[in-house]
Amino acid sequence: MKLHDNGVFLLHIADSFEKIAQYLGGMDKESFFKNSLTQDAVVRNYEIIGEAARNITDDFRALHPEIDWRGMAGLRNILIHQYFGIDLNNVWNISKVHAPDTLAKIQALPEYQTAKKLLSNHRK
C-alpha cells in the first residue's frame, strides 16, 4: 500500500470511528459534557476522519455516494476553524446516530477490506 492510497485513508477513517465508539462506550450525554478529556479525544478523531476523507480521490468518492465524504470533511473544517464554539450536542448526536452507520459502510467497502488484509499480513 502506498502512503496516499485510498485504502490507507479508509483504514484511518475506520480506526478513528472505532476509537470514538470506544471513548463513548458506556458514557451518557451528561457525562460526555462533563469530561473534557473525552471531548478532546472525540474531536481529535473527527479531525482525522475529515482530513482522511478529504484525501480520498474524487473518483473513489463518486463511486461511493452512499458515504457522506463531504459531511466528514465539513465537520473537520468546523472543528478546526471554529474550535472556540464547538457544539457538543452535534458532536454527541453525530457520534451516536451517524457514526456507526458510516463506519459500517466504510468497513463494507472492498478497498477497505483489501487494505485491512494487507495491513494484517504486513504485521505478521
pLDDT of 3 > 80? The answer is no
Looking at residue 85, its pLDDT comes to 79
What band does 39 get if pLDDT is binned at 50, 70 and 90?
very high
The residue annotated as part of the active site, out of 76, 98, 122, 123, is: 76
Instruction: Grade residue 4 by pLDDT with cuts at 50, 70 and 90.
Output: low
Our answer to whether residue 76 is catalytic in this structure is: yes
Please give the Cα distance from 68 to 11 (Å, whole number): 16
Per-position b or e across 30-62, b if 16+ CB within 10 A of its CB:
eebeeeeebbebbbebbbbbbbbbbebeeebbe
Out of 4, 81, 122, 123, pick the active-site residue: 81
Q: So what's the pLDDT on residue 121?
A: 73
pLDDT number for residue 2 = 54
The ranges assigned to domains in the chain are 6-123
DSSP state of 84: G
Return the SS3 of 86: coil
Residue 118 scores a pLDDT above 80: yes
Query: Given a cut of 60, is residue 53 above it in pLDDT?
Result: yes
Higher pLDDT, 83 or 26: 26
Burial 80-93 (b: 16+ CB within 10 A, else e): eeeeeeeeeeebbe
Is the predicted pLDDT of residue 122 greater than 80, yes or no? Answer: no
Q: Has 61 been annotated as catalytic? A: no
Round to whole Å and give the CA distance between 107 and 14. 7
